[in-house]
Amino acid sequence: MGAAIGKAESPKKAWIPETKLEAKMVEAMQRRAAKGNSLRSFNTVILKFPKIDGCLRKCKTIFEQFDEDSNGAIDHEELRHCFDKLEISFTEEDVDDLFEACDINDDKGVEFKEFIVLLCLVCLLKDDPAALHTKSGMQMPHLETTFQTVADAFVFLDKNKDGYVSKTEMVDAINETTSGEKSSGLIAMKRFEEMDWDKNGMVNFKEFLFAFTRWVGIDDMEDEEEEENKSEDTEE
């Protein structure tokens, strides 16, 4: 089934980035691909989900540090302060683009899951990502490694290394992971639909990041916090 779906798709066309930020993401992924990738199957990444989830959850402390008014979201001004504290030399336009790209529900605030995506983009787009840890006092040496693993997963899916993942590429990757199981095509299509938010048939790195946080369990973390808050309200 997977092979049939893959063949049914028309040849992958050259995709033009819609924003400057997207163009930078494409360049970053292509540079990473040029360095080589040790991943041999997507299953390698799946096995790391618990460890990746644990590391990303620790970003909550960083998020709370920059959520100055403690309202559960980082607004545009707080993000500027965040960049100042991290001594990140992005232009005002870059900061605006990152905020707009990560504020997916357009509520003028970057919530925790969106903040994880933003941190990963900053880490991978920055000239010296290791400086994020030393200058921010994050004290999370595994964070950069985690973001690099996520980037490697995207590079693995992007078979032709153009900075995007197509349906055919997703099918090929899942087929490799599931060893030709009959359900592999359906699994691939479901995963692709979860990534392709704008339904344009191509997935960029930002879209992949948002889907990835769901796959490793960050949504479950938010559900757990909601349940805890409900319990506290009931007790009061």
pLDDT tens, position by position, 148-190: 899 999 999 999 999 999 999 988 887 776 655 555 678 788 8
CA angle 125, 89, 25 (to 5 degrees): 20
pLDDT at residue 123 greater than cutoff 90: no
Contacts of 97 (CB under 8 A, 6+ apart): 19, 20, 21
pLDDT at residue 33 greater than cutoff 50: yes
* Residue 153: per-residue pLDDT: 92
Rounded to the nearest integer, the mean pLDDT of the chain is: 80
Query: What's the predicted TM-score (pTM) here?
Result: 0.80
pLDDT more than 70, % of the chain: 77
pLDDT at residue 225 greater than cutoff 60: no
User: Could you give the CA distance from residue 110 to residue 118 in angstroms, rounded to a whole number?
Assistant: 9
User: Could you give the CA distance from residue 51 to residue 40 in angstroms, rounded to a whole number?
Assistant: 19
pLDDT at residue 135 greater than cutoff 70: no
Nearest to 152 by CA among 29, 54, 48: 29
Domain residue ranges in the chain: 20-31+39-216
User: Could you give the CA distance from residue 15 to residue 13 in angstroms, rounded to a whole number?
Assistant: 6
User: Could you give the CA distance from residue 150 to residue 105 in angstroms, rounded to a whole number?
Assistant: 23
pLDDT digits (tens, 9 = 90+) for 195-208: 998 888 899 999 99
Residue 129, exposed/middle/buried by CB under 10 A (0-12, 13-18, 19+)?
Answer: middle
pLDDT at residue 6 greater than cutoff 70: no
Q: Position of tokens 């041999």?
A: 40
